[in-house]
Structure 1
Amino acid sequence: MAEWDADLDHIIPSSILPPLWAKLLVGFVSLVCFARSYDGDFVFDDSEAIVNNKDLRAETPLGDLWHHDFWGNQLSSNTSHKSYRPLTVLVFRMNCYLSGGFHPLSFHVVNILLHSGISILLVDVFSVLFGGLQYTSKGRRLNLAPRSSLLAALLFAVHPVHTECVAAVVGCADLLAALFFLLSFLGYCKALRETNKEGTHSTFWVLLSILLGAVAMLCKEQGITVLGLNAVFDILVIGKLNVLELVRKVLHKDRSLENTGVLRTEGLLFRMSLLALGGTGVLYVRWKIMGTGPPAFTEVDNPASFASSMLVRAINYNYYYSLNAWLLLCPWWLCFDWSMGCIPLIKSVGDWRVIALAALWFCLIGLICQALCSEDSHKRRILTLGLGLLIIPFLPASNLFFRVGFVVAERVLYLPSAGYCMLLTFGFGVLSKHTKKKKLVAAFVLGILFINTLRCVIRSGEWRNEEQLFRSALSVCPLNAKVHYNVGKNLADKGNQTAAIRYYREAVRLNPKYVHAMNNLGNILKERNELQEAEELLSLAVQIQPDFAAAWMNLGIVQNSLKRFQAAEQSYRTAIKHRRKYPDCYYNLGRLYADLNRHVDALNAWRNATVLKPEHSLAWNNMIILLDSTGNLAQAEAVGREALELIPNDHSLMFSLANVLGKSQKYKESEALFLKAIKAHPNTASYHGNLAVLYHRWGHLDLAKKHYEISLRLDPMASGTKENYGLLRRKLEQMQKKNI
């Protein structure tokens, strides 16, 4: 079994703490870093993954989770991103159930606790990676690298690049994958416990480790890479492979090659076979579930992958790697999204950014050479394992095996950052060993820990709500059209249309094919009655993306407002063609038919809207009002009652049905509905005004007078109410004269 010299550990500038206290310290520091995000909102992707995800709703069968992607879409759909993470979705659903709904606080608390637990678990993982596997006579694993493991775990706990994973609810996928990744590694280590017989292992723990790797993959795709790390650890630490010695023997055709330990260990070969078979089997099942086809991404998601030149692709991929490395080294430059022009393509080797590639590979080659060729076996193994932990979990995001849907994503660095922290800790040890100013090195390390902690606290605050998050990105990625789009959308949601227009226009300027920005800008212009420009934008959007159903519907609304009814109908029909289950489009189509006095068509369209979306209040209301206005009171009453059964607390439906019942002289029932609607919305003038009309008809003149006056107080300009109130007052005056 591997025995590691612990001399290196004594020069690490950190204190030796008892194992429990070391873990408590790491856990506490990790909580301090990200506690500020505990009461944050659902931001950015959280809305789609949580609030709008039908798989989190109680009425959705649990079995559906295994056939849907992370966002609740069918994996077989062409629009699915194929992100198969059913266990993460299951955790979300359990959170909803236990917390009683979609409360962001409970989701954020889970993420913070997961990060804390992972950081604590890394104390054990780093102790193995730095110090190797050695056990007491009672079978307890020894921590031969207490300083190294503590410092590396602290560096991991406070790394600001983790903020997205911890502060964003969707980051739970990365956290769960990391948790089971580490458990799989520790389980594999348990399989390699020293026994009386050299080279023996526990097949049960090897299989359990593979199972935990599969569980990690079902949380997020990166999780399966733990099997690669297990293999590297087994070969280097347990098999004691000396790559330098092996290369020398191969080059010199040394016949003693066959005696190299790693090649003649049957146990190692058996374990490698299990890992290979297990990994292949899991990946095959994952591929079959995914539909044996890769996800479809667009050029704006990952422009380098669409470059026609292989050289351009290679240069840009390597530039992306250098940016990821820089985020690990200097995590001050953070952004929620790095797509849409945030990082312009490098199109020639004359671009100055090629220097970043050269710097990256200069460092990597230097580390690899040291890892493979150093005469110091401890140095070789620490560097190799550190590089393995850095590179292996990053491979699924590298574009080497398949196209990914992002340029740079901070969340994919969660696991690789553990390898970086290991290498950084080793670097501090080497620096401390070769300098007499050890206190200066210790102060430098403490400074990094403090600065990173401060950055985590600041960045966690930025992730608490969308306004801060989106605005924080403007200085980091000013060329990112999506950043401007999201700032504009946030402003529009708050009613600041003027500012929203400015940001939407900038998004379209930066990316002239950004159809979603065109659609939202067109919507605002439509509301501001700037119909010509709105039509131009929406027409361009559907020209760029012909299957953009929402843009077709909005174009139809604009054309309807421009009295271009035939074109509007065609636009609505096209929208429904591309999205068959589109209740809002059926609703707007019904409004068009109502404007054209095609009442039957209007009723059919609204009925389709309510079939697709039973809680579509506007469609129900319009049916009631149309039937009422055309004298079909019985049918209007039936529709109103049906609607209230489905949406019993909708005050607008109560109001509409109350009007119908009043005309049908069902005064008592009408009164009850009016009063219920007023209780829900006491400051709606029309509710009081129409109740007054009911009392007026019914003969309850004092009550009619009371509600007319309330209505006019709420809306003094309501001409109909004024007229009715005048009639009532004259009638009351006449009655008083008769009584006299």
Structure 2
Amino acid sequence: MVLLLSGLVLLFVRWRIMASSAPTFQRVDNPASFADSILTRVLSYSYIYALNGWLLLCPEWLCFDWSMGCIPLVESLEPRLLAVGLFWMTFIALLWKSLSIPSGKGQRSLIMCLAALVIPFLPATNVFFRVGFVIAERVLYLPSVGFCLLVIVGLRKLAMFHGSHRAIQIGYTYVVLLLGIRAVCRSAEWRTEAVLFHSGLSVCPLNAKVHYNIAKNAGDAGNRTLAIFEYREALRLHSEYDQAMNNLANILKDEGKLHEAERLLRKAVQLRPDFAAAWMNLGIVLAGLKHHSEAETSYFTALAYRKKYPDCYYNLGNLYLEQQRYGDAYRAWRNATALKPTHVVAWSNLIIMLDSIGQMDRAESIAQEALTILPQEPSLHFNLANALGKTGRFVEAEKHFIEAITLDRKNAVYYTNLGVLYHRWKKYDKAERLYQQALELNPHLQSAKDNMALLQKARNRIANQQ
């Protein structure tokens, strides 16, 4: 009674958390539950039950995701129906055995095993409500208790009719060791995302999400070639995979293939009109193609679907800057920093724009405001130093240049600009040293080479005058 009441309370709490409504799922999450034919649903569900049983018996086929075509629907007579028939015959035989044997300890043990096996699995059967997965290995944790008990009951029965208990013990030990080794091997596959995602290919090569995850991992690691290949494979398997379209378009955009990126993003937002990220990325691509009006519309659409979207405001500001709409750019970037005070590039663009249009006081004010939030951000110190240097406040500029270099010692541009400050300050020895340090970090930095040449000319001119 206590367990029953506890279960009912948990169900009630879960129902309230879900706002008293069932979750919604897409066809790709659980294709069988969306099948039009009742026969297809029954046969596909039965095959999924059989696969779950096989995973308990022989956990060889393990995958982090079983959706998106991993298990094709059973729609006609085919070899997989043999597995369905074997599963139901085994289950019915066990059920009949539990009900037909005489009442006693043996019957209670068998019924308890079957109850522990079946009851925890019932919510995942799609019988009472639709679930958002095809196979989820985690739902077998509790049923595995009943399965293990059933194995023990079976071994005890086998020992009663078999003369050699030792042979049974050896066989049981061998199976336990084999499964232990399998557990260790599977655990190793979970250590890194790359290994885990690739392991899914051997089990579910038709799963678009497996290819999507491999592509995303490759893209994050900088392997664009593999990422593009796997995103295309994901789209070949699932032609309406909007997230794959968005991510592939981002890579193509970075490679300058703007027209193909535009085509993918337009299709993505057509499939999912409220896809805010795709609308924003479409705006970026359209801006790159100089379709400014359409780009602005795309950004506004993204903001309509996601009002608190600092990255979109940032890109909108970039669009306005390109059109020299400085007031609009300022407001867009301020919206970005208001929504996300740590948005470094929005702060930097504000400072640089105000500096470039001669509003030095506002540039300094914005920089100081940003530094109260991000005091350890080198780019903010650098941009403030540039603005201060232009107004002849060399001492303050020097302080912020040095702070920027202290925070980022590998940025050759920081050394070059501090060198320029010393150059203007007529501290030629310090300027030369900074230019040399910049060229040591980046021998191909043209600004450092040009300023070093100008410095040598200035020194030669001074020497000739003397």
TM-score, normalising length: structure 2: 0.97
**Could you list the per-position Cα deviations for residues 186-215 of structure 1 after superposition, in whole angstroms to 9, with x for gaps in the alignment?**
xxxxxxxxxxxxxxxxxxxx6xxx4xxxxx
Query: Which residue of 2 is the match for residue 320 of structure 1?
Result: 48
What is the match of residue 452 of structure 2? 725
Task: Tell me how far 1:722 sits from its aligned partner.
Answer: 2.9
Describe the superposition over 1:32-85 as per-residue Cα deviations: whole angstroms up to 9, x where unpaired. Answer: xxxxxxxxxxxxxxxxxxxxxxxxxxxxxxxxxxxxxxxxxxxxxxxxxxxxxx
**1:713 Cα deviation after fit:** 3.3
Aligned to 2:221: 494
Q: Distance in 2 between matches of 1:287 and 1:658?
A: 57
Return the offset for 1:543. 0.9
1:648 counterpart residue number: 375
Equivalent residue letter for 2:359: N
Give the CA deviation at 1:356.
1.9
Q: Distance in 1 between matches of 2:464 and 2:410?
A: 34
Q: Name the CA distance, whole Å, in 2 between partners of 1:306 and 1:543.
A: 22
Partner of 1:306: 34
Structure 1 residue identity aligned to 2:268: A
Distance 2:222 2:451 in 1: 36
Which among 535, 538, 545 is matched to residue 272 of structure 2? 545
Matches within 5 A, 1:204-219: 210=2
Of 16, 22, 25, which aligns to 1:288? 16
Q: 1: distance between equivalents of 2:10 and 2:62?
A: 34
Structure-2 separation of matches of 1:336 and 1:399: 20
Q: Select which of 361, 379, 382 maps to 2:106.
A: 379
Residues 357-386 of structure 1: CA deviation (Å, up to 9, x unaligned)? 221111111111111121252221111101
Query: Tell me, what secondary structure is at the counterpart of 1:475?
Result: helix
CA distance in 2, matches of 1:605, 1:395: 52
Inter-partner Cα distance in structure 1 for 2:459 and 2:259 = 53
Deviation at 1:717, TM superposition (A): 3.8
Aligned residue for 2:230, secondary structure, equals helix
**Once the 2 structures are TM-superposed, how far is the Cα of residue 499 of structure 1 from its aligned partner?**
1.3
Measured in 2, the distance between the counterparts of 1:582 and 1:738 equals 60
* Alpha-carbon shift at residue 719 of structure 1 (Å): 3.5
CA distance in structure 2 between the partners assigned to 1:288 and 1:521 by the alignment: 39
Distance, in Å, in 2 between the alignment partners of 1:404 and 1:510 is 22
Deviation track 1:95-141 (CA, whole Å, cap 9, x = no partner) reads xxxxxxxxxxxxxxxxxxxxxxxxxxxxxxxxxxxxxxxxxxxxxxx
> For residue 347 of structure 1, what is the amino acid of its counterpart?
E
- The one-letter code matched in structure 1 to 2:371 is L
Q: Does residue 523 in structure 1 map to residue 255 in structure 2? A: no
Shift of 1:666: 2.3
Indicate whether 1:633 and 2:360 are aligned.
yes
Distance apart, 1:738 and its partner CA: 4.2
For 2:16 and 2:223, how far apart are their aligned partners in 1? 47
Q: Distance in 2 between matches of 1:399 and 1:696?
A: 75
1:44 corresponding residue in structure 2: none
Q: Deviations over 1:482-532 (max 9, x none)?
A: 111111111111111011111111000000011111111111111111111
- What SS is found at the alignment partner of 1:341? coil
Aligned to 1:413: 140
Matches within 5 A, 1:114-129: none
The CA distance in 1 between the partners of 2:166 and 2:103, in whole Å, is 26
Partner of 1:689: 416
Greater Cα shift, 651-660 or 350-359: 350-359
Bigger Cα displacement from structure 2, 677-686 vs 410-419 = 677-686
2:390 pairs with one of 647, 663, 672 = 663
- The whole-number CA distance in structure 2 between the counterparts of 1:536 and 1:313 is 36
Residue in 2 that maps onto 1:262: none
CA deviation profile, 1:393-415 (whole Å, cap 9, x unmatched): 11222222221111001111111
Of 320, 333, 336, the residue aligned with 1:593 is 320
In structure 2, distance between residues paired with 1:648 and 1:479: 50
* Aligned partner of residue 349 in structure 2, secondary structure: helix
Q: 1:506 aligns with which of 204, 208, 233?
A: 233
Shift of 1:618: 0.7
In the TM superposition, residue 596 of structure 1 has moved relative to its aligned partner by 0.8
From 174, 186, 210, the equivalent of 1:459 is 186
- Once residues 702 and 559 of structure 1 are traced to their aligned partners in structure 2, the CA distance between those partners, rounded to angstroms, is 48
Q: Deviations over 1:682-731 (max 9, x none)?
A: 22121011101111222322111111222233334434333332222222
Of 347, 352, 362 in structure 2, the residue corresponding to residue 620 of structure 1 is 347
> CA offsets per residue over residues 623-654 of structure 1, 9 Å max, x none?
11100100011101111111111111111111
Aligned counterpart in structure 2 of residue 567 of structure 1, from 294, 300, 317: 294
Partner of 1:468: 195
Letter aligned with residue 530 of structure 1: K
- State yes or no: 1:712 paired with 2:434: no
| More divergent stretch after superposition (596-605 vs 304-313) | 304-313
Q: Tell me which residue corresponds to 2:311.
A: 584
Inter-partner Cα distance in structure 1 for 2:247 and 2:42: 36
Shift of 1:278: 4.9
Distance 1:642 1:320 in 2: 59
1:442 alignment counterpart: 169
**2:203 match: secondary structure:** coil
Distance 1:485 1:369 in 2: 45
- CA change 1:718–1:286 in 2 (3 A) is closer
Letter in 1 for 2:375: P
Residue of structure 2 equivalent to 1:330 = 58
Distance 2:205 2:450 in 1: 58
Quote the Cα distance in structure 2 between the aligned partners of 1:325 and 1:401: 20
Secondary structure at the residue paired with 1:415? helix
Match of 1:340 among 59, 68, 73: 68
Shift of 1:554: 1.1
Task: Provide the C-alpha distance between the structure 1 equivalents of 2:7 and 2:260, rounded to a whole number of angstroms.
Answer: 55
- SS of the residue corresponding to residue 414 of structure 1 reads helix
Matched with 1:400 is 127
- Match for 2:70: what amino acid? C
Which position in structure 1 is the counterpart of 2:211?
484
Cα deviation code 1:547-566 (max 9, x no counterpart): 11111111111111111111
Q: TM-score, normalised by structure 1?
A: 0.61
1:425 is displaced (CA, Å) by: 1.0
Of 425, 449, 453, the match for 2:152? 425
Higher relative contact order (CA 8 A, sep 6+): 1
The alignment of Structure 1 onto Structure 2 pairs a total of residues equal to 466
Matches within 5 A, 1:694-705: 694-705=421-432
1:397 partner amino acid: A
Q: Equivalences for 1:153-172 in 2 at 5 Å?
A: none
| 2:333 is the counterpart of 1:606 | yes
Residue segments in structure 1 that go unaligned for 5+ positions in a row: 1-205, 211-226, 228-274
Structure 1 distance, partners of 2:154, 2:460, is 97
Cα distance in 2 for residues equivalent to 1:486 and 1:476: 15
Structure 2 segments unaligned to the other structure (5+ residues) = none
Runs of 4+ in 1 over 6 A off after TM superposition: none
Kindly, what percent of the aligned residue pairs are identical?
A: 51
Give 1:580 shift.
1.1
